Amino acid sequence: MTTIDDQAAPIAIPIRPDETKAERNERLRLLARSPTFLLGSILVGVWIVCAILGNLIAPHDPVAPDILSKFEGPSGAHLFGTDKLGQDVLSRVIVGARSILVVAPLATILGTVLGTTIGLVTGYYRGFVDEATMRVVDAVLAIPLIITALLAVTAVGPSRKTLVLVIGFVFTPIIAKTVRAAVLGEAQLEYVQAARLRNERGPYVMFVEILPNVTGPIIVEFTVRLGYAIFTVATLAFLGFAADPTIPDWGQDISTHYQSINAGYWWPVLFPSLAIATLIVGINLIADAIAQLFER
């Protein structure tokens, strides 16, 4: 049999394995060099440290009332002042990071996992299930998020678990929509048809073939949602649905003290508010930087 060994055999170096790795590294480098990302990471990083160390770095016991020194303004002894029970505001702000930084990410992860699954199924199979699911999704999205969450928490009663579940479920449709849009584009590509042509099952096509190609939008959506989740947790606490009323919580502290502002006691409100604001801004900065990276 004639062989054609001297035919345009790949003799040169058409491939540069180092190059894609370099590309990925460059992505990370670009991210690390982005001022948006850096500032965001510093803000979020500070709160993560507070959440982890909590009581260890708090100058006072955050839940020790001291009736004699209530509503003391910021001073050397109490940098952020004390609240109406004489508790140290700084310590409460530091320790308060934990509850929000546990509930919000867990809820977002839950919403992302569920939303991604729904988005993959509806975007891949299309048809009636897709139509039906998307109508439900649209209906859910039409109701303001906070009201849905509020109703659900009222019905079940607040606890860490319910907060995670409720916020996760409320986010699911939004994430499902984003993922579905990305999947619709991918499912048109021929590699999906090639999978059908070797009798692959649906779940394999969705999770092994398509999912790795839509991680970009999912990561971006996750970071954006995380910001919203923090806002939602804080709002619910402000409205009286804190996960655990006995431990320090930013939203709850604002809610307890906002009426004292009139009396000139601004510090027990301002500092927890700033905490919420900086955390959300930090996360949104990170989300922006990541979104920009994937758009390139």
Partner 1 sequence: MTDAAIELQDLQIAYTVRGIDRRVLRGVSFSIGQGESYGLVGESGCGKTTAAFAIMRYLPRNAKIQSGSIRLNGEDMLAMSGAKVRRLQATTLSMVYQNPASALNPSIRVGPQLAEVFGLLGVAKEEAAHRSEAMLHKVQISDPQQVMRRYPHQLSGGMQQRVVIAMALAKNPTLLILDEPTTGLDATVEAEVLDLIAALRQEFGTSVLFISHNLAVIAKMCERVGVLYAGRLVEEGVAQEVFRDPRHPYTVGLLRSIPRGGVRKDETALDTIPGFLPRLGANLPGCVFEPRCGLAKEICREQEPELYPVGNGRVSRCHFHDRAQELPRAAPTRLPAAQTANGRPLLEVANGSKTFKQDGQDVRALVDISLTVRPGEVLGLVGESGSGKTTLARVLLGLTAPDEGSRLALDGEELAGKVEKRSQEQVRSLQIVFQNPDGALNRRHSVRRIVGRALEKLLGLGGRERDERTAQLAESVRFDQTLLGAKPAQLSGGLKQRVAIARAFAGDPRIVLCDEPTSALDVSVQAAILNLLVELQTQKGVSYVFISHDLGVVRYISDRIAVMYLGRLQEVGDAETVFGGPHHPYTEALLSAVPTLEGEDRTRIRLEGEIPSAANPPSGCVFHTRCPRFLGEICVQEEPPLAEVEPGHLMRCHIPVDELRRLQGEARAVAQSKTTT
**Backbone φ/ψ region at 127: left (φ over 0), alpha (ψ -120 to 50), beta:** left
In Å, what is the CA distance from 74 to each residue of 23, 81, 94, 266, 268?
50, 4, 16, 10, 10
**Residue among 213 and 260 whose Cβ is closer to partner 1:** 213
Q: Which residues would be at the binding site for partner 1 (CB under 8 A)? A: 1-2, 4, 6-17, 19-20, 22, 26, 189-191, 193-194, 196-200, 209, 212-213
**Least gap, CB of 243 to partner 1 (angstroms):** 38
Cα-based angle 201, 204, 208 (whole degrees, multiple of 5): 160
**Residue among 8 and 155 whose Cβ is closer to partner 1:** 8
Token pair, residue 91, equals: 């310590």
**Residue among 10 and 76 whose Cβ is closer to partner 1:** 10
**Least gap, CB of 292 to partner 1 (angstroms):** 17
Cβ-contact 268, 84 below 8 angstroms = yes
**Least gap, CB of 11 to partner 1 (angstroms):** 5
**Least gap, CB of 210 to partner 1 (angstroms):** 9
Q: Is 74 exposed, middle or buried (0-12, 13-18, 19+ CB in 10 A)?
A: middle
**Least gap, CB of 70 to partner 1 (angstroms):** 59
**Residue among 12 and 67 whose Cβ is closer to partner 1:** 12
Cβ-contact 211, 234 below 8 angstroms = no
**Residue among 69 and 213 whose Cβ is closer to partner 1:** 213
